[in-house]
Structure 1
């Protein structure tokens, strides 16, 4: 299907800052499940910097904005032709070996509860047990917008039994790693619902490495593997590592942001 994307992130500062530098992972991944038809990223008042493809196969692009500035808008617009590969990341080129994604981070470190979840992983039936783990997390962590924060850990989200897509992904990652399976966080987009309602943020899911098949996506939030409704941007060890936009500002102004994302079907 052909999906259109309109993603706006608006940064506001309560007092002008001297400048802002950002690093973007806002370019769709290159693999058999998606082909970019058109794609444009603009930054109000911004100057395009250097870009490179990292070891995970993601395009990283630098931007800078000279101050004084009180507001910055990052706008993403594009069209991507997608197809359903049953969650398999087929045809994606990367250099980072899968075992690198066994490493914990501060938000994905497994406690006893996560380690017990990881015991669901059965090496002799790896694919099925990965599906079971994803379904179990969907049962254990109820989707509840606003129930967690950006720095909520996987252990905290599992303990309170509520979270959002970031928490679902990080709980799955932590449990999978505890069970000996390389796992990583994926940031991207998900088609808006039938009413065309925009999302408050981009979407997130996890990829687990299954020997013989490669990286496979699992989305506990929607109890499925990514299909033609999804657009994959980039990956990382956790949500912060895979964030579509990262940056620093020079100044004492306090930053606030608002995000709107509309991903809609243009044609079949």
Structure 2
């Protein structure tokens, strides 16, 4: 499947600031499930460093703007050819041990309720059946947190989302990571794009899911928000221990000003 992406991120400042420095994780991952046909990341007046690959196999570039900066527009456009690998991250090169992803953050720390959810989901599944346990926990998270935009925010934790019973893809990913780690399965957060939801409705925003490390298979993606594993509709950008570390754009600004952020993402199928 060929998928076209147009992703525009706009920052507006109430008064000019002196400098902006950002780290971009906006380059599609290299693995057997997707191939980049063309891809551009553009910022008017921006200075880009040479890209480098971090230990998790993600491509990172630094962008800076100097002088009096009133606005930053980041334009991402490109076309990706994808293949359905049933969620398996095949032929993805990385150097970090999966055991690193047994640690948690404030966002993914399992509380008693998350531990109980995970334990109940895998109670009848052998400890060696990692794939079955992963599927069971993903289903339990989907049941425990109903997809409901606007009920949570960027800093909502997995525990808070489960207690509320409502959330979005970020909350589902954090909750699944917390559940997996609580039963000893390494798990991480993945950011990317989704062409359409499971019912075929076009998806208008960036998307997130979780990857769990499964013996004999390696990293396998699970998307509780859509009750599936990533397939040809998904474009993978990068990963981290939570949404903050996996964010496509991270940065700092020098100067004092209120900041307005607007993000527009369009993901469409391209005729072969």
Q: TM-score, normalised by structure 2?
A: 0.95
| Contact 1:196-1:262 within 8 A present in 2 as well | no
Residue 27 of structure 1 deviates from its aligned partner by 0.3
Residue 205 of structure 1 deviates from its aligned partner by 0.2
2:129 maps to 125
Match for 1:176 among 157, 161, 180? Answer: 180
SS in 2 for 1:124: coil
| Alpha-carbon distance in structure 2 between the residues aligned to 1:196 and 1:221 | 14
Match for 1:150 among 140, 149, 154? Answer: 154
| Contact 1:82-1:228 within 8 A present in 2 as well | yes
2:226 maps to 222
| Alpha-carbon distance in structure 2 between the residues aligned to 1:87 and 1:3 | 17
CA shift digits 1:112-170 (9 cap, x unpaired): 01111221344132211211111111111011111111111110011101111000000
| Contact 2:98-2:213 within 8 A present in 1 as well | yes
| Contact 1:45-1:72 within 8 A present in 2 as well | no
Question: What does 1:85-124 align with in structure 2 at a 5 Å threshold?
Answer: 85-119=85-119, 120-121=121-122, 122=125, 123-124=127-128
Match for 1:255 among 246, 256, 259? Answer: 259
Question: What does 1:58-77 align with in structure 2 at a 5 Å threshold?
Answer: 58-77=58-77
SS in 2 for 1:241: coil
**Quick check: 1:13 aligned with 2:13?**
yes
| Alpha-carbon distance in structure 2 between the residues aligned to 1:106 and 1:218 | 21
Residue 195 of structure 1 deviates from its aligned partner by 8.6
| Alpha-carbon distance in structure 2 between the residues aligned to 1:27 and 1:50 | 13
Residue 197 of structure 1 deviates from its aligned partner by 5.0
**Quick check: 1:41 aligned with 2:41?**
yes
| Contact 2:195-2:202 within 8 A present in 1 as well | no
Match for 2:269 among 256, 265, 268? Answer: 265
Which piece of structure 1 moves more, 40-49 or 119-128?
119-128
| Alpha-carbon distance in structure 2 between the residues aligned to 1:252 and 1:198 | 35
1:237 maps to 241
| Alpha-carbon distance in structure 2 between the residues aligned to 1:90 and 1:51 | 22
CA RMSD of aligned residues (A): 1.4
CA shift digits 1:209-229 (9 cap, x unpaired): 011111000000110000000
| Contact 1:118-1:177 within 8 A present in 2 as well | no
| Contact 2:118-2:140 within 8 A present in 1 as well | no
Residue 92 of structure 1 deviates from its aligned partner by 0.3
5+ unaligned residues in a row in structure 1: which ranges? Answer: none
